[in-house]
Structure 1
């Protein structure tokens, strides 16, 4: 039979009690230190008295993208616009390809979003130009039928274009003056029958309206007849028309955002700056212009070929109505 071992023989009773007391003392100290540490950590993460933590269930802030609420896009429907670029012969991008401008490798250097202020930036510099110009552009051309230039409008049919825009950057010439840029246009167009009547090889007609950013101000130029008694055939020719003296609005827009509105109806054209200043054309020249078809243009048409020159025009919204 096995006999129970007497542990007191090896561990005297007094020694066992001392050991137990020491373990209890150490355990107590550990718990005290842990509790103090937890209280300190909790106090460090308490909400300061003047700070509020949102508990709104409708708070949709993307924690992975804290600037997402500040992301803005321009208010421009490009379904009825094509764009001409200062590259190629020159290069044009029509709907529907223009709708993917943000990922289009050809367009991205010249037409892109500034998502901070919600604008569409048009960048250009002297390079390729269209057949009837010596200057380059990154400019939209209205297409009433997406992808086609063949459907346009007359003054009798009427139209309205309104945009909010700003000159963002533009270089200076050797005299220290800013270069000029055309920011809006109404361009004339010959019908096929008119083109054939005067023996032209394309449908180009003069622009009845050019609106410039000129030294921080908005300047308007239109066309007038050299001879108001011109025949119905000769009136179709570009050399029947010349530039008027122009009109400069009093308000200086500088590099700030401004609004332009162009309204046309039979025998009348009106341009409005910031819903404040207006210039109206309703004379014999506008009345006789009714023989042409037209289309709107908007963007950045840089009027210089100086080496190193360039410009950026921002459009925040752009609307056309017929």
Structure 2
């Protein structure tokens, strides 16, 4: 037994020495080359794995879910139920577990979007249509702090129409996806004897049958006084204009930038509509706030729309 064990030990020793000798015979440069090749192979494998997991827009596949890139700290949401129902910060941050909000604003974990679902039901003051729409609040929980054009403001959103019904003529219903809404200060409201702080929306961006349509306001009487232009009926809708690109049901990006007497709207970093002139110089008198989501433009029974937002950001100079 002792001789058999010694024999086995001798074989193992010779095998180890053979491996050592082979490394020595390769030389130092060969060993380094071998190490570099191994490291390169590992790096290539890691890159290949990363490329395999990454989608075109940089999102990572192979995980259980995706979340929208949206901070709701400075937004409240209006729902198409109640009188209507509104949820402000900080409660809006728990929308994913809020049973009242969930039917109308919820995550689609398959593509990382925040879905806004609306249908004809409850309406807000001065309107006839329902909405599931965010309203900017510069001070969370309060509507009383807003911005003017000279202050400067910027909003950017990436979105898509997920689903929308058609009317009796076979055309898709319309939906407003972004707005800049005017607001009277308390002093302006009292000056013209109005019961609320409502002022006209200087910007409405529609999705209409696969196109993005922009509408603004213009003064009926350019010679109206600063007091007279505070009234909603001093302003009229402009003719509106469509971007050349058809977005259909694809994802697209909108940017809205305002400054002193000027408003710019850009679609997909490619085409920009610019508004300025006397009417926009006069608009500097109003406070404003951003809106985004699904302001559904139909009263038809059984109609609805679903709008997906993937990203939404706002900033102020």
Q: TM-score, normalised on structure 1?
A: 0.79
Q: Which residue of 2 aligns with 1:158?
A: 152
Q: Which residue of 2 aligns with 1:321?
A: 315
Which of residues 291, 297, 312 in structure 1 aligns to 2:306? 312
Q: Which residue of 1 aligns with 2:184?
A: 190
1:70 CA drift (Å): 4.3
Which of residues 214, 217, 230 in structure 2 aligns to 1:220? 214
1:196 CA drift (Å): 0.2
1:132 CA drift (Å): 1.0
Structure-2 separation of matches of 1:285 and 1:75: 35
Is residue 211 of structure 1 aligned with residue 213 of structure 2?
no
1:312 CA drift (Å): 0.1
Is residue 266 of structure 1 aligned with residue 285 of structure 2?
no
Q: Which residue of 2 aligns with 1:176?
A: 170
What SS does the corresponding residue of 2:239 show, helix, strand or coil?
coil
Structure-1 separation of matches of 2:220 and 2:89: 38
Structure-1 separation of matches of 2:278 and 2:310: 35
Q: Which residue of 1 aligns with 2:68?
A: 74
Structure-1 separation of matches of 2:211 and 2:269: 15
Which of residues 69, 73, 89 in structure 2 aligns to 1:95? 89
Q: Which residue of 1 aligns with 2:80?
A: 86
- Number of positions where the alignment pairs a residue of Structure 1 with one of Structure 2: 259
1:321 CA drift (Å): 0.5
State how 1:142-157 maps to structure 2 within 5 Å. Answer: 142-157=136-151
Structure-2 separation of matches of 1:303 and 1:71: 32
What SS does the corresponding residue of 1:156 show, helix, strand or coil?
helix
Structure-2 separation of matches of 1:232 and 1:146: 30
Unpaired stretches in structure 2, ≥5 consecutive residues = 1-45, 50-60
Which of residues 128, 144, 155 in structure 2 aligns to 1:134? 128
Q: Which residue of 2 aligns with 1:40?
A: none
What SS does the corresponding residue of 1:245 show, helix, strand or coil?
coil
Question: Structure 1 residue runs of 4+, over 2 Å off?
Answer: none
Structure-2 separation of matches of 1:81 and 1:295: 10
Structure-1 separation of matches of 2:184 and 2:224: 17
Structure-2 separation of matches of 1:257 and 1:277: 16
Structure-2 separation of matches of 1:77 and 1:68: 24
1:283 CA drift (Å): 1.3
1:273 CA drift (Å): 0.2
Q: TM-score, normalised on structure 2?
A: 0.80
1:175 CA drift (Å): 0.2
Structure-2 separation of matches of 1:68 and 1:103: 25
1:173 CA drift (Å): 0.2
1:134 CA drift (Å): 0.1
Which structure is larger by alpha-carbon Rg, 1 or 2?
Answer: 1
What's the CA shift string for 1:63-105, capped at 9, x where partnerless?
xxxx971411000000000000000000000001100000000
Structure-2 separation of matches of 1:107 and 1:316: 18
What's the CA shift string for 1:105-132, capped at 9, x where partnerless?
0000000000110000000000000011
What is the root-mean-square deviation of aligned Cα atoms in Å? Answer: 1.3
What's the CA shift string for 1:186-217, capped at 9, x where partnerless?
00000000000000010000000000001100
Structure-2 separation of matches of 1:122 and 1:304: 15
